[in-house]
């Protein structure tokens, strides 16, 4: 039976300036279909939602988009334009669509200004950032545990909005491990590896000790972290050595206090069982990863799961409604 009222929150759109960023992810003969999916909001997308019991989508920009624009002024302009365009789309049907802001992390002060504008003026429900940002030079990759971002994180905490850490591929000069095995790039492997390392950097940096009310969302059932969490915290335990990171607690503490997971693009029952056992039903959220994954694939899988009514409701909509303060 179709679970109605589902909320999906890793659901992407593109603006003309970011459209070609997604072109490498499909064979050329499928590009027209993906292009249509990325630019469409109120046609095919809404029909898919209606057919699959999805009440609301939180929309966000495709990847890597703003994060791959090294010039700070250009990144600022792109983020502002993309957010304005997304706000216009949301305003056409706010009962079915809400927005997550794109931010120019190349310029932390500008990112703070745009975050405040997006939340306070545009009414966006949170933020989605595509991993590291290339700053000033294409090969200068800056991760969000860098101390330059601490005022930004303080603002995210003060505004009390979720921050979605979304994948991107490593840049070519940092991706030697994939040379000759390029099929491992993207969602097959590199997306998850890149995002998991980034998330662990945030946890290990002490960020959540300084800002304990931060709410970070990871897609694809946690990018492999739940499966590996025990080993992350217990490797070589016989040595009884203190951790070599600034954070005050084991990584499991932060995963269970500051991290939420979506099922986007990982419609695997064993993966869900693992995630439930590690973080519990209150921290898992339904999502599809449209247009890169099919809405019906996500919904058909989820609707057939053997879950108790409370767990089903929380994952389908309750957790997202509370986390993003949707008031539905």
Query: Quick check: is 303 catalytic?
Result: no
- Choosing from 289, 303, 306, 308, the catalytic residue is 289
Three-class SS string for the chain? CCCCCEEEEEEEECCCCCHHHHHHHCCHHHHHHHHHHHHCCCCHHHHHHHHHCEEEEEEEECCCHHHHCCCHHHHHHHHHHHHHHHHHHHHHCCCCEEEEECCCCCCHHHHHHHHHHHHHHCCCCEEEECCCEECCCCCCEECCCCHHHHHHHHHHHHHCCCEEECCCCCCHHHCHHHCCCHHHCHHHCHHHHHHHHHHHHHHHCCHHHHCCCCCEEECCCCCCHHHHHHHHHHCCHHHCCCCCCCCCCCHHHHHHHHEEEECCCCCCHHHHHHHHHHHCHHHEECCCCCCCCCHHHHHHHHHCCCCCHHHHHHHHHHHHHHHCCCCC
Cα separation, 105 vs 102, whole angstroms:
9
Rg (CA), the chain: 19
Residues catalogued as catalytic: 289
């Amino acid at each position: 039976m179709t679970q109605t009222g589902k909320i999906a929150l890793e659901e992407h759109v593109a603006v003309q300036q970011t459209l070609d960023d997604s072109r490498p992810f499909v064979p050329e003969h499928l590009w027209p279909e993906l292009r249509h999916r990325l630019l469409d909001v109120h046609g095919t997308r809404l029909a898919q939602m209606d057919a699959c019991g999805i009440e609301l989508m939180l929309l966000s920009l495709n990847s890597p988009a703003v994060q791959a624009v090294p010039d700070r002024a250009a990144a600022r302009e792109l983020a502002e334009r993309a957010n304005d365009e997304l706000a216009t789309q949301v305003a056409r049907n706010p009962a079915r669509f809400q927005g997550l802001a794109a931010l120019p992390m190349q310029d932390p002060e500008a990112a703070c200004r745009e975050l405040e504008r997006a939340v306070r003026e545009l009414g966006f429900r949170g933020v989605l950032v595509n991993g590291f940002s290339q700053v000033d030079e294409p090969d200068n990759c800056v991760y969000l545990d860098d101390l330059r971002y601490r005022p930004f994180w303080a603002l995210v905490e003060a505004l009390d909005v979720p921050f979605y850490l979304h994948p991107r591929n490593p840049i070519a000069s940092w991706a030697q491990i994939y040379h000759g095995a390029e099929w491992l790039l993207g969602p097959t492997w590199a997306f998850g590896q890149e995002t998991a390392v980034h998330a662990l950097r945030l946890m290990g940096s002490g960020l959540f000790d300084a800002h304990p009310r931060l709410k970070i969302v990871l897609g694809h059932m946690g990018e492999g972290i739940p499966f590996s969490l025990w080993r992350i915290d217990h490797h070589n335990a016989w040595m009884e050595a203190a951790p070599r990171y600034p954070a005050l607690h084991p990584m499991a503490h932060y995963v269970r206090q500051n991290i939420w997971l979506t099922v986007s693009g990982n419609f695997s029952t064993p993966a869900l069982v693992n995630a439930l056992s590690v973080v519990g039903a209150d921290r898992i959220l339904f999502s599809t990863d449209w247009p890169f994954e099919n809405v019906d694939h996500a919904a058909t899988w989820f609707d057939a799961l053997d879950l108790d009514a409370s767990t089903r409701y929380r994952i389908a909509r309750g957790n997202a409604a509370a986390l993003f303060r949707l008031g539905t």
